[in-house]
Structure 1
């Protein structure tokens, strides 16, 4: 699947558990909404993804990507060490300055 560079980097850094490179996909003031919690800024986002990587060892396989204006929607099969694996998740993104400014993960 052909993905825009930013989205391909987002997936690759997730799949290689590279939290430092992962946060470079986000703006300085980005927010992430996942599992009922909100994380703001690169420091909190790095802490969130490091914890998630350690706890779930998730791997993302993109199924579909759509972009309309500044909104992106990545649908991916995510597998890992969590109940119900694999599952299909949607990654709702608001893009700004060619980076992710907001990410909301839904099932």
Structure 2
């Protein structure tokens, strides 16, 4: 990921997020893989749980299989923007996975109207 200083982010409302991000979050929550995938650029990169997925085939596989053995809910608990291309969405997850709850940062880099990179971190 590029050298972005996430501590310089400004709090925004979820309504101020780019359409691709809100559409992706909704589709991912419904486990609608194809709609979620459509939010990404053709050369997008996703990093989650120490693994990196590049391009549509790897991201599709990640979307279809990530945490599929667990049942959980997500709640958007905050959003912020560093600049016009970098957004941090904070999600609270609760479910039957080890630990039962998790608070995660979904850090998006946009290219135009699409997601070029997503890094998910605690």
* 1:1-107 alignment runs, 5 A limit: 2-3=14-15, 4=17, 5-67=19-81, 68-107=83-122
Flag structure 1 segments of 5+ consecutive residues without an equivalent: none
Alpha-carbon shift at residue 2 of structure 1 (Å): 3.5
Task: Give the Cα–Cα distance (whole angstroms) in 2 for the partners of residues 69 and 20 of structure 1.
Answer: 26
Query: Deviation per CA, 1:4-43, whole angstroms, max 9, x where unpaired?
Result: 3222211111111100111011100000011111000111
Task: Give the Cα–Cα distance (whole angstroms) in 1 for the partners of residues 71 and 42 of structure 2.
Answer: 25
Aligned to 2:10: none
Greater RCO (CA < 8 Å, at least 6 residues apart): 2
Match of 2:63, SS state, is: helix
Flag structure 2 segments of 5+ consecutive residues without an equivalent: 1-12
Q: Which has the larger radius of gyration?
A: 2
Match of 1:92, SS state, is: strand
Which runs of at least 4 in structure 1 moved beyond 6 Å after TM superposition? Answer: none
Whether the 8 Å contact between 1:60 and 1:76 is mirrored in structure 2 is yes
CA RMSD in angstroms comes to 1.5
TM-score relative to the length of structure 1? 0.89
Whether the 8 Å contact between 2:46 and 2:54 is mirrored in structure 1 is yes
